[in-house]
Amino acid sequence: MKKTLLIYLAVLAGVFIVLNFIDANGSYEAEKALWKINAQFEQYTKDPKTIPTGAYEGIRKKYQRFIEIHPKSSLVPLADLHIGHTYMAMKNYDKARAYFEDFIKKHADNPVLSVQAAVEITRTYALEENEVGVTKSYDRIIRDFPLTDLGLRTPMLVADFYKHTNQKARQQKALEDAKAHYIGLTAQYPDSPVELKALQMLANCYVEKGEFSRAVDALEEILLKFSDPRLLTPQAMKNLVTSINAIVITQLKDYDRSIKIYSRFLEKYPDHPAAASFKSLIAKFEMLKKENVSVILKKK
């Protein structure tokens, strides 16, 4: 029995050693190494008062070492961004901004990556409570990275910034600018994913402005124009329908509006996989309408 157990242990140890050493600097090992540095960094930022001196500098060196060990890893840009974050954690905002600027230059061919650094620059200004810096930085994102996800969201972020700093007039102005920006994008990039995202943001913009009917118009346009599941995934369609229903029921109180939207959809796409659920939604709104009418009659 002892011999058998020794064989088992040797096999387990052998398999472990072999699999551990094969592809020792591969992408999985890189993921693991970066996760561990990130976890330690996160731990420090959770409770900055208790961390030892030089801790962030240590983390920065770890990211640097990660880049040296895994130069070909797809995670290198992420580690590079985190180096900028360590400067932010050390409250060395000038250095952080310079680092992020370098990052933007280094990844100029990849707007999805460089926009993240631009957003971090905005955050450094926000942390310094430098309003001019924040707005300038937002303007730059809108100008230089208009078609990235972050770039598309930025006009609304500007409005949010003014909302949270209690500047109502500026918030309204920012919402007007955002509206014009999104309408411009829909005209500039028709029938494209950019138009889809711009319409979604436009709907948010209308909701924020309290123009609920226009918000439903924008959502309806998405539904009727982008029914292809490759563009509007089933989950995204579900969210869209939930938004329409929520606005119609709570704000507009006009059930015919939903019935008309879903009827138009069925007319345009009778064989769509979601057709059955739209038919059931129409039936539910019809019922709601009847119940509403009977309540009104009873009150009379």
Partner 1 sequence: MQPEKKVFTLLRSAIISIIENKIILLPFLTIAFFQILAIEILYFSPKFPLNVFFGPLVSKLWSPVYMHYPQNLVFLPNLFQNFNIGLYLFLNTFLICTAVSMIGAINQGEKADIKTALKNLWPRYVHIVTLAVIIILMTLGLDWAYERVFRRALEIRSQSGKFYMLKIIILSSKPFISLLISVFAAAVLAYTFPLITLEKKNVFKALAENFKVLWRAWIFTFFIVFWPTLIASMFFMFRTADLTLKHPELSIFLVVLGLIVATLTDAVIYTAITTYYLAWKESRKEGR
Contact residues for partner 1 (CB under 8 A)?
A: 1, 4-5, 8, 11-12, 15-16, 19-20, 22-23, 26, 28-29, 31-32, 35, 39
Smallest separation (angstroms) from partner 1 to the CB of 71: 18
Taking alpha carbons only, the member of 272, 87, 91, 28 closest to residue 101 is 87
Two structure tokens written together for 290? 């009847």
CB contact set of 41 (below 8 Å; sequence gap of 6+): 56, 59, 82, 85, 86, 89
Smallest separation (angstroms) from partner 1 to the CB of 178: 33
Smallest separation (angstroms) from partner 1 to the CB of 39: 8
Q: Angle at which helices 275-299 and 255-268 pack, to 10 degrees?
A: 160
Nearer residue to partner 1 within complex by CB, 66 or 255: 66
Nearer residue to partner 1 within complex by CB, 12 or 108: 12
Smallest separation (angstroms) from partner 1 to the CB of 9: 9
Nearer residue to partner 1 within complex by CB, 62 or 197: 62
Nearer residue to partner 1 within complex by CB, 35 or 176: 35
Nearer residue to partner 1 within complex by CB, 51 or 183: 51
Smallest separation (angstroms) from partner 1 to the CB of 67: 18
CB contact set of 229 (below 8 Å; sequence gap of 6+): 237, 273
| 140 to 118, 154, 175: CA distances (angstroms) | 8, 10, 17
Residue 92: DSSP 8-state? -
Smallest separation (angstroms) from partner 1 to the CB of 7: 9
CB-based burial label for 253 (10 Å; 0-12, 13-18, 19+): exposed
- Confirm if 108 and 145 have CB atoms less than 8 A apart: no
